[in-house]
Amino acid sequence: MQHQLSTLDYVVFFIYFLIVSGYGIWIYRRKTGHDGTLEGDSKDYFLAEGSLTWWAIGSSLIASNISAEQFVGMSGSGFKMGLAIATYEWMAALTLIIVAVFFIPVYLKNNIATMPQFLHQRYNGTVAMIMAVFWLALYIVVNLTSILYLGAIAISSIAGLNLEFCLYALAIFAVIITLGGMKVIGFTDVIQVFFLILGGLATTYLALNMVADHYGQSGVVAGFNLMTEQAGDHFQMIFKRDNENYIDLPGLTVLLGGMWIVNLNYWGCNQYITQRALGADLPTARGGLLFAAFLKLLMPVIVVLPGIAAYVLFKADVFGAAEFGSGADLNPDRAYPVLLNILPVGLKGLSFAALTAAVVASLAGKANSIATIFTLDIYKKVLNPEASEKKLVNVGKIAVVVAMILGVLIAPHLGIDKKGGFQYIQEYTGFVSPGIFAMFILGFFWKKTTSTAALFATIGGFLLSVLLKFLPTFANLSFLAPFGFAVPNAAGVYEIPFLDRMGFVFVFCIIMMVLISLLETSRGVKTNGLEVDSSMFKTTRGFAIGSITIMVLLTVLYTIYW
């Protein structure tokens, strides 16, 4: 198998590079050329206030969300467990509608620019500063490094380039995009999404054709039908308890339980994501989120189906141990790189550009969020409250470069490549998301929530998550098995599936926050309620029609592949 790009592949890739870089430079010059004050305007730099259209917001959301984590990790999960992993994408589509209707109006009505600002306004400066520092550490040490290193590994394995070179090249490319600010990121993400979808669909098309060809047929429809025949167990959305993958996706929990916490926290309480919509008016922001929801329905075609195709070809001995390993060393995360390496000349370059686009867009979005939180929530509030707008923009640019340098230096030493793929990332993010989401959701809609209760949710939620994770090492949880809340892992030890753990921790945090808040308010503690009224949640007819369409499509998909 050829682990390198041909001349034509490099030509295709450099065309992509020139288009994205050239368009970014043009957007940047147009922004600073028409009004010299914009370059020194921090809100324009960090949020692209009033500049992004609905299609730019939607594209940027998807470009920032889809990265090596999906292309490599989710394809690997498709290889291992099948279409069920698409629940992360399809439930996200429904989540985006909820965020557009209920979350974004609250942020915009209260002039929220960052998540720590929301916490400061709703609770107090202590909660906001603790979470600002926490988010900075999380974004740099976990998210930025993971995106950078997984992306470099994937690109290195496809192109045959030195891993360290790939790390630096990705970082430099992302910095070029990020230094232009959110407006440049938002509009270049439209190009990134074009390459991401086009290259991703090309890979899926070739993978399905390969399946058809192997069984003496032709065409993607025949390939898809053969996949459903040869791997019928890989086309089930809801796992039963006897399924070996139940511990990762525990039955109806993906529809009624912890999956909601994963998605609502990620799409509604995450600076990295919400930042795209916070600089727009409400109709534009909602339009962008709705567009992103439609794109989310398409993502499993690009990142999950290739993994299932690779599994079918692996079962048919088209691929073997040389590509995937064997026995305990079998590595499903090799699915997407293996497929890319067998693409014909030219298409390999296009798919390589799609993967690079996904990684660079995610890096740029994450670096911009890091710069925004550091500049507006730490530098401006603590280090230099009198800083001018131009100074804030310059500090933000420095923060981008420093964050990327730290990412490059730290990433190789974290053992990211040895810790698994998509499922691992989801599980360990789940240690903190239930408490954070509880703090946000009560902060939105219950004015009696106190800052002490918020702090308890973040710290207590994390500690309870850790306790439930390691509880099976000193307690037998088999008594929970009849209720579906504990299943044996590979070692035969009963443990609680992480999505169920998240649900339990979230309910615990909500109950404790309510009790603490009632106790404190009964003693006269004052709270800072947000400005919220029912009229904020009314939507336009067009948005309602689009939302209903997505819900109908999801119902059909889950009915067919239940």
Domain assignment present for residue 103? The answer is: yes
- Tracing tokens 């703090």 back to the chain, one arrives at 439
> Does one domain contain both 435 and 393?
no
φ/ψ of 163, rounded to 5, equals: -60, -45
Q: Is the pLDDT of residue 522 over 60?
A: yes
Q: Is the pLDDT of residue 50 over 70?
A: no
Domain assignment present for residue 208? The answer is: yes
Q: How large is the average pLDDT for residues 453-462?
A: 89
List pLDDT tens digits, range 14-38: 887 788 777 777 777 775 554 444 4
> Does one domain contain both 404 and 491?
no
Q: How large is the average pLDDT for residues 422-433?
A: 69
Q: Is the pLDDT of residue 347 over 60?
A: yes
Lowest-confidence region among 214-218, 440-444, 483-487: 483-487
Which of the four pLDDT bands, split at 50, 70 and 90, describes residue 46?
A: low
**Quick one: pLDDT at residue 550?**
94
The predicted model scores a pTM of: 0.82
Q: Is the pLDDT of residue 180 over 80?
A: no
- Cβ atoms of 100 and 284 within 8 Å: the answer is no
> Does one domain contain both 441 and 406?
no
Q: Taking each helix axis from N to C terminus, what angle separates 182-214 and 54-65, rounded to the nearest 10 degrees?
A: 60
Domain assignment present for residue 368? The answer is: yes
And the tokens for 543? 């948005």
**Quick one: pLDDT at residue 551?**
94
Q: How large is the average pLDDT for residues 2-7?
A: 70
Closest to 365 in 3D by CA, of 45, 63, 27, 21: 63
| CA separation, residue 376 to residues 110, 440, 441 (Å) | 16, 20, 23
SS3 percent helix, strand, coil of the chain, rounded to 5, is: 75, 0, 25
Domain assignment present for residue 538? The answer is: no
Q: Is the pLDDT of residue 94 over 90?
A: yes
Q: Is the pLDDT of residue 154 over 60?
A: yes
> Does one domain contain both 269 and 377?
yes
Domain assignment present for residue 147? The answer is: yes
List pLDDT tens digits, range 224-283: 999 999 888 899 988 888 788 888 888 888 888 888 998 898 888 877 677 777 767 888
Select the more confidently predicted residue: 18 or 222.
Answer: 222
Q: 469 CB contacts (<8 Å, ≥6 apart)?
A: 431, 498, 501
> Does one domain contain both 162 and 138?
yes
> Does one domain contain both 306 and 438?
no
> Does one domain contain both 390 and 458?
no
Select the more confidently predicted residue: 96 or 389.
Answer: 96
Which of the four pLDDT bands, split at 50, 70 and 90, describes residue 315?
A: confident
**Quick one: pLDDT at residue 36?**
42
CATH number, position 283: 1.20.1730.10
**Quick one: pLDDT at residue 422?**
58
> Does one domain contain both 258 and 363?
yes
How many domains are contained in the chain? 2
**Quick one: pLDDT at residue 170?**
87
Domain assignment present for residue 516? The answer is: yes
**Quick one: pLDDT at residue 37?**
41
The top-scoring range by mean pLDDT among 123-127, 439-443, 492-496 is 439-443
> Does one domain contain both 325 and 437?
no
Domain assignment present for residue 355? The answer is: yes
What range does the domain containing 133 cover? 53-417
Domain assignment present for residue 18? The answer is: no
And the tokens for 232? 């019928």
Q: What is the mean pLDDT of the chain?
A: 81
> Does one domain contain both 494 and 388?
no
> Does one domain contain both 403 and 523?
no
> Does one domain contain both 273 and 308?
yes
